[in-house]
């Protein structure tokens, strides 16, 4: 499959104990990792002892003002000469020692430009979060291309840098990650690859444990940023409505809660979904809002320092 060298790239900010678990798991993978490149946003809390775990671990530090979801990852790719680069977040822990092997395997098909892993809920996840993880990351793998938009809508472009791999040649042909984006650099890259004729592979056998129990305000802000990223890239997202997918998720989750005899949780589901949708609607119209309100609505206030709304 012409993928002989693989590097892992992990942006970090105040990493906790999960980060150490992640590093230890990566060092035990069946597919040997060439380098683990950590791009750390400077604080006083970085666990520098991890550098002593293995000579393959490299740490590059940046300032808070330098960080960007697209630009930072783009810069990190420039530190690698691997045939494929795997991006992970600091809180995504491999389920087993075959994560990289299973994530890279789909590249045997030359038409596959990127792959992403299945995300499993951790032990702290509530019932709703567990079902949403199952909905978004089912147990069966699939391959997606531009034709998938007819049936999947915006989900055809879905790819998650919580754990995703990119074939180097396809990545470069697609122009690399956008230099500046508030969110969604992974979906933008997947869409650009698809426009070139490549496919995105969801590798369900590649598994990481990763989930969050976000508050309503956190959900609002995340969806606000998500919608902003879509509004900033109409060349990709315009004409591909995501609303139907969200409604389908709410309906299926509600039916599941009834099925497991916990219908009272539907109230929580509706409230959470309302905050998500409100955040999304505000984000879509962010150009009509005053900058002070935009900053309050966003989970990335520093992004707006150089943006005129």
Give per-residue pLDDT as tens, 245-299.
Answer: 788 899 999 999 999 999 999 999 999 999 999 999 999 999 999 999 999 999 9
pLDDT at residue 44, as a whole number = 87
Whether residues 23 and 162 fall in one domain: yes
pLDDT at residue 195, as a whole number = 97
User: Among 176, 194, 209, which residue terminates a domain?
Assistant: 209
pLDDT at residue 246, as a whole number = 80
Say if residue 124 is exposed, middle or buried (CB neighbours under 10 Å; 0-12, 13-18, 19+). Answer: exposed
Please provide the average confidence, as pLDDT, over all residues in the chain: 95
In a domain, 305, yes or no: no
What whole-number distance in Å separates Cα of residue 3 and Cα of residue 180? 29
- Domain range enclosing 164: 6-209
3-state secondary structure of 304: helix
Whether residues 178 and 154 fall in one domain: yes
Whether residues 30 and 79 fall in one domain: yes
Whether residues 222 and 195 fall in one domain: no
pLDDT at residue 258, as a whole number = 97
Write the CATH number for 188. 3.90.550.10
The full length of the chain comes to: 309
Looking at the structure of the chain, the number of domains it has is: 2
Two structure tokens written together for 209: 């444990």
> Do the Cβ atoms of 11 and 72 come closer than 8 Å?
yes
> Do the Cβ atoms of 249 and 155 come closer than 8 Å?
no
Whether residues 202 and 224 fall in one domain: no
Nearest one of 66, 68, 54 to 8, comparing CA atoms = 54
Indicate whether 185 pLDDT > 80. Answer: yes
Whether residues 156 and 87 fall in one domain: yes
Indicate whether 244 pLDDT > 90. Answer: no
Predicted TM-score (pTM) of the model is: 0.95
Give whole-number Cα distances, 93 to 113, 202, 249, in Å: 23, 18, 25
pLDDT at residue 305, as a whole number = 84
What whole-number distance in Å separates Cα of residue 66 and Cα of residue 72? 8
């Amino acid at each position: 499959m012409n993928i002989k060298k693989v590097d892992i790239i992990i942006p970090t900010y105040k990493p906790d104990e999960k980060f150490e678990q992640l590093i230890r798991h990566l060092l035990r993978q069946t597919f040997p990792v060439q380098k683990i490149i950590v791009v750390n946003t400077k604080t006083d809390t970085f666990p520098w002892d991890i550098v002593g775990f293995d000579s393959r671990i490299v740490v590059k530090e940046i300032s808070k003002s330098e960080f960007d979801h697209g630009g930072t990852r783009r810069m990190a790719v420039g530190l690698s000469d691997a045939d494929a680069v795997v991006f992970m977040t600091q809180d995504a822990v491999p389920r087993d020692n075959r994560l990289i092997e299973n994530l890279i395997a789909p590249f045997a098909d030359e038409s596959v430009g990127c792959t992403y892993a299945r995300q499993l809920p951790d032990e702290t996840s509530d019932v709703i979060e567990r079902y949403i993880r199952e909905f978004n990351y089912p147990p069966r793998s699939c391959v997606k291309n531009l034709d998938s938009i007819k049936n999947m809508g915006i989900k055809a472009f879905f790819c998650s840098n919580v754990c995703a791999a990119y074939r180097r040649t396809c990545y470069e042909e697609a122009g690399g990650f956008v230099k500046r984006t508030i969110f969604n650099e992974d979906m933008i890259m997947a869409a650009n690859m698809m426009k070139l004729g490549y496919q995105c592979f969801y590798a369900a056998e590649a598994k990481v444990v990763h989930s969050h129990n976000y508050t309503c305000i956190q959900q609002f802000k995340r969806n606000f940023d998500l919608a902003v990223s879509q509004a900033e890239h109409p060349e990709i997202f315009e004409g591909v409505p995501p609303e139907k997918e969200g409604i389908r998720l709410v309906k299926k989750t509600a039916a599941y809660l009834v099925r497991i005899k916990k219908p009272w949780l539907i109230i929580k589901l509706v409230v959470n979904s309302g905050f998500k949708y409100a955040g999304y609607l505000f984000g879509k119209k962010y150009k009509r809002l005053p900058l002070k309100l935009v900053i309050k609505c966003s989970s990335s206030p520093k992004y707006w320092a150089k943006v005129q709304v």
